[in-house]
């Protein structure tokens, strides 16, 4: 069975999330998106775990079901903030668990270290090696996945608080790490440049804070397995049954390039290095972006592809494509009407973005939107890159106007054309 999985999400009790974020809305919009397996998010939060137990039925497969049969897997994200080697470290990890019993044991362990009731993604002063070892003592079935590994502020390789290797981060517990999450600002092409990452599975998930279709499933991992917890974990740990990932173009990520948002400064690595990562307008440090950080740690040339590299598909949410062409904000009725019309004819968004031929799309939507969808598939599109907390966006030749009601601050940022090579030939 082909499984489209988004296993890094949050519930309504996490900071900066939608108050309407609940299991029914997640199920509804996952189906619209074309995702058929979701993480539950935030299983340590006392109110959210109550909602999960009320909304989902557990069996011995490790896959939880709604009353309508939609599949979830128990998942949360934990923030670890501590000092190591004279430097403050801030690392986020995604956890997967096989059942509510193990979740309770994880929760009891965390309660011995601090509070869990103030945020769906709680913070603990536990080093990654100690954290990993303690969880493995609870159950070897718990999966620990370093989250969005390049994000500057909170990740394993983050420029502000991270490490230079998986070994440095997890030390003797590196043996219990089998995968990593790319995050919005990187893709497999960038990660393949580090030979130290070859043995790990590449995973991609949305880290959603709302259920809308431009968030849920914007990044996902494709498995070809019979959906059980055991089969999923085996695929992550061995790469067998892991078929590839869906990525947003890394230029869309909020931290792809180096820059300073307040001064409207956005720079490629070679240019920021020339000025020692200091803002030329205010003389404050720039936020070093993911692309520059990859350059610092890479031991391979750009474009390297391993022989066993899994396919990836670099896409842009359909709502964003429509918004750009119609010159309307993503939440407007005009955009929703066009979106709903397309989805009604082609089942779900993932199918639209990955499979539907251009000539079929053009029967339902405008030729320009149909062409944009298929052009994005080929990876040949211009992007306005994200930096210092500001999302990037696509640039379509047919419509260079910015959508109304959106704040765009990248006025002088370079327009980068990146060919992501979606690797359809690897399938």
- Report, as an integer, the average pLDDT of 293-322: 96
Instruction: Identify the structural domains of the chain with CATH numbers, from first to last.
Output: 2-248 (3.20.20.140), 258-285+317-426 (no CATH)
Distance (Å, rounded) from C-alpha 238 to C-alpha 77?
A: 23
Q: Which of 49, 100, 58, 93 is nearest to 228 (CA)?
A: 58
Scanning 358-408, the segments in alpha helix (DSSP H) are 358-362, 367-378
Distance (Å, rounded) from C-alpha 418 to C-alpha 400?
A: 18
Phi–psi pair at 180, nearest 5 degrees: -155, 160
Distances (CA, A) of 419 to 243, 254, 345, 410: 21, 19, 29, 21
- Report, as an integer, the average pLDDT of 160-165: 96
Dump pLDDT digits (tens) for 322-376.
999 999 999 999 999 999 999 999 999 999 999 999 999 999 999 999 999 999 9
Q: How many CA atoms lie within 13 A of 175 on its CB side?
A: 5
Give the rounded distance of the alpha carbon of 388 from its chain centre. 17
Percent of the chain residues past pLDDT 70, beyond the cut: 93
Cα torsion 31, 32, 38, 42: sign:
negative
- Using the 8-state DSSP alphabet, how is residue 416 labeled? E
Q: Does the pLDDT of residue 148 top 80, yes or no?
A: yes
Distances (CA, A) of 234 to 156, 229, 238, 242, 411: 23, 9, 6, 9, 46
- Report, as an integer, the average pLDDT of 158-170: 97
Per the prediction, the chain carries an average pLDDT of 93
Q: Does the pLDDT of residue 427 top 80, yes or no?
A: no
So what's the pLDDT on residue 380? 81
Q: Does the pLDDT of residue 416 top 50, yes or no?
A: no
Dump pLDDT digits (tens) for 76-134.
999 999 999 999 999 999 999 999 999 999 999 999 999 999 999 999 999 999 999 99
Q: Does the pLDDT of residue 413 top 70, yes or no?
A: no
């Amino acid at each position: 069975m082909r499984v489209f999985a988004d296993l890094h999400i949050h519930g309504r009790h996490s900071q900066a999330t939608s108050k309407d974020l609940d299991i029914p809305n997640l199920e509804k919009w996952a189906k619209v998106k074309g995702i058929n397996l979701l993480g539950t998010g935030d299983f340590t939060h006392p109110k959210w775990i109550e909602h999960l137990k009320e909304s989902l039925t557990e069996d011995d497969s490790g896959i939880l079901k709604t009353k309508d049969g939609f599949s979830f897997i128990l998942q949360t994200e934990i923030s670890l903030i501590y000092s190591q080697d004279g430097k403050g470290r801030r690392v986020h990890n995604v956890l997967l668990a096989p059942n509510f019993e193990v979740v309770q044991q994880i929760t009891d362990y965390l309660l011995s270290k601090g509070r869990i009731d103030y945020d769906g993604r709680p913070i603990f002063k536990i080093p990654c090696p100690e954290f990993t070892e303690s969880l493995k003592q609870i159950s070897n079935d718990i999966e620990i996945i370093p989250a969005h590994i390049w994000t500057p502020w909170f990740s394993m390789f983050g420029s502000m608080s991270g490490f230079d290797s998986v070994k440095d981060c997890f030390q003797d517990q590196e043996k219990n790490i089998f995968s990593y999450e790319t995050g919005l600002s990187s893709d497999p092409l960038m990660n393949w440049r580090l030979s130290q990452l070859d043995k790990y599975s590449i995973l991609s998930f949305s880290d959603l804070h709302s259920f809308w279709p431009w968030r849920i499933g914007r990044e996902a991992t494709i498995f070809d397995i019979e959906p059980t917890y055991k089969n999923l974990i085996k695929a992550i740990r061995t790469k067998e049954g892991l078929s590839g990932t869906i990525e947003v173009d890394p230029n869309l990520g909020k931290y792809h390039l180096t820059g300073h948002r307040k001064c409207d400064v956005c720079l490629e690595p070679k240019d920021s290095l020339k000025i020692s990562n200091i803002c030329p307008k205010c003389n404050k440090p720039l936020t070093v972006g993911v692309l520059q950080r990859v350059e610092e740690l890479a031991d391979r040339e750009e474009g390297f592809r391993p022989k066993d590299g899994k396919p990836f598909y670099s896409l842009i949410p359909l709502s964003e494509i429509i918004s750009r062409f119609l010159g309307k904000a993503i939440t407007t009725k005009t955009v929703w009407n066009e979106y709903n019309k397309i989805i009604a004819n082609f089942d779900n968004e993932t199918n639209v973005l990955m499979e539907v031929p251009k000539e079929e799309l053009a029967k339902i939507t405008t030729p320009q939107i149909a062409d944009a969808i298929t052009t994005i598939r080929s990876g040949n599109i211009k992007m306005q890159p994200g930096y210092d907390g500001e999302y990037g966006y696509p640039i379509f030749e047919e419509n260079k106007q910015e959508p109304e009601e959106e704040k765009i601050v990248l006025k002088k940022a370079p327009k980068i054309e990146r060919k992501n090579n979606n690797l359809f030939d690897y399938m």
